[in-house]
Structure 1
């Protein structure tokens, strides 16, 4: 696991935009966090620290030059970037493979009837969920019912899973996938019964994880992502309450995944980075 590196601490009145623009142009993931009346510049990958220190020295000397706008990472570099987060990549391939399988086979359809004979009469009994089984509850996470469904969920997976694996490691990502998927699906089954699918319960859990830890870990995602997505969830729940079926969203999976993601983020320790020089 690559631990984020705290590379610079600066006063609030220091303009770091030349540095951040240079880093983005060089495709170096980073984040500036304002805390305790100071700015903290984190690098996503500590391996970039040495060359960034050179640029910081050039910036302080007034000699930092903007990189050429024509510089772009080639296909091989993009692949190497993905291979830095292999578990995220493997799960994405798994979602795509299952989607293709769904187009050529109907064997997956029995996944949609899990516990159908137990709902709703026995949905309040813990033994019901034990009878259904952990795998049967979790496996609808792999199902996507349309191209737009898998495209949308893959986008959120790309945005959230890779930073989590890069900064926190494989184990937290697997915990989020398994626990948030299971919790979200269990809540959805309790709320609306069987016949649902998608990895959005997991992505909501990852959203809760990132949102709760964003001030301490440089995930390089927008700070407004969590409130915007939670606001969207509240609006869609309200719409479906007034006009059932308006959004076609599995609200139980979203809520269950989000809450379990919050809990995991609160309980999982955050690794501390080394303190950098101040300017």
Structure 2
């Protein structure tokens, strides 16, 4: 996001924000102790927004202003760095541990260390991960995927939904949401099934729940995803618990990670509003 201008807190920007929403121009307004700021995504021309604001402040009829449609440039890592890092790391890690076949790599990435003795699985307690200072383990399971279908499905959701959070609310907010969702969903799944799981699915559920609930709690939609997406994911979650998806060949489903991610995404909305300067 790019800052367009700062104005005093006494300035009522609701009318100007209303016009921007009517023209489908994404934006956010933040406040600190002395002023409020207007922000727009990087692809929105700030000179145009500044000009519109000046005309609005002078009482001009904004209906006569022709708003240039923003040109969407080809995306590069510099525009969505966190999304690119997340997807690239998922691809590298998944390749290195061979979709779950390379245990010598996998045991460094699971939420707790483990050993396979014959058909017996032995693994350490979560406290061992903490006391041994192997704290990366609370995050790294999200990078492990056990099939091509698994990583493609999750990556598409992160690209569509997660990237929009980063573009609208910034990389810091997006990183916090991802880390919060990863830790919550990984711990939840571990408590049910042990350490042999992985994937971005918990984070996917979190970002979907986050964008849906944010728009639900706001006067104006910030992300604009159709509510049907959330309905689809809840139905998918329910089907996972029935065992139907496994019988159809989707493999073992980390249902608890999905549910924990969904809850984490909902809780992230009030937490982000309390911790960061975000849109009204």
TM-score, normalisation: structure 2: 0.66
Name 1:101's counterpart in structure 2.
96
Residue 85 (structure 1) aligned with residue 80 (structure 2): yes
2:228 alignment partner, one of 200, 224, 228: 224
After superposition, residues 16-165 of structure 1 pair within 5 angstroms as: 30=26, 45=41, 47-48=44-45, 50-51=47-48, 60-61=63-64, 77-80=73-76, 82-103=77-98, 106=102, 107-110=104-107, 111=109, 114=112, 116=114, 128-133=125-130, 134-165=135-166
Unaligned ranges ≥5, structure 1: 11-15, 21-28, 32-41, 275-279
Distance (whole Å) between structure 1 residues aligned to residue 249 and residue 255 of structure 2: 11
Unaligned ranges ≥5, structure 2: 5-12, 28-37, 53-59, 116-121
Distance (whole Å) between structure 1 residues aligned to residue 240 and residue 61 of structure 2: 49
Q: CA RMSD in A?
A: 4.3
Aligned residues: 238
Name 2:31's counterpart in structure 1.
none
Distance (whole Å) between structure 1 residues aligned to residue 68 and residue 111 of structure 2: 58
Deviation at 1:198, TM superposition (A): 0.4
The structure 1 segments of at least 4 consecutive aligned residues displaced by more than 6 Å after TM superposition are: 3-6, 63-67, 241-246
Assess if the C-alpha contact under 8 Å between 1:3 and 1:167 holds in 2: no
Name 1:25's counterpart in structure 2.
none
Distance (whole Å) between structure 1 residues aligned to residue 89 and residue 194 of structure 2: 25
Deviation at 1:199, TM superposition (A): 1.1
TM-score, normalisation: structure 1: 0.66
Q: How far does the alpha carbon of each residue in 1:182-238 deviate from its partner, in whole angstroms, 9 at most, with x for none?
A: 111111111112211101111211122111102435123223322321222122213
Assess if the C-alpha contact under 8 Å between 2:181 and 2:261 holds in 1: yes
Where relative contact order (Cα < 8 A, 6+ residues apart) is larger, the structure is 1
Distance (whole Å) between structure 1 residues aligned to residue 244 and residue 129 of structure 2: 28
2:256 alignment partner, one of 244, 252, 267: 252
Q: How far does the alpha carbon of each residue in 1:92-119 deviate from its partner, in whole angstroms, 9 at most, with x for none?
A: 22112222323499232324593557xx
Assess if the C-alpha contact under 8 Å between 1:85 and 1:166 holds in 2: yes
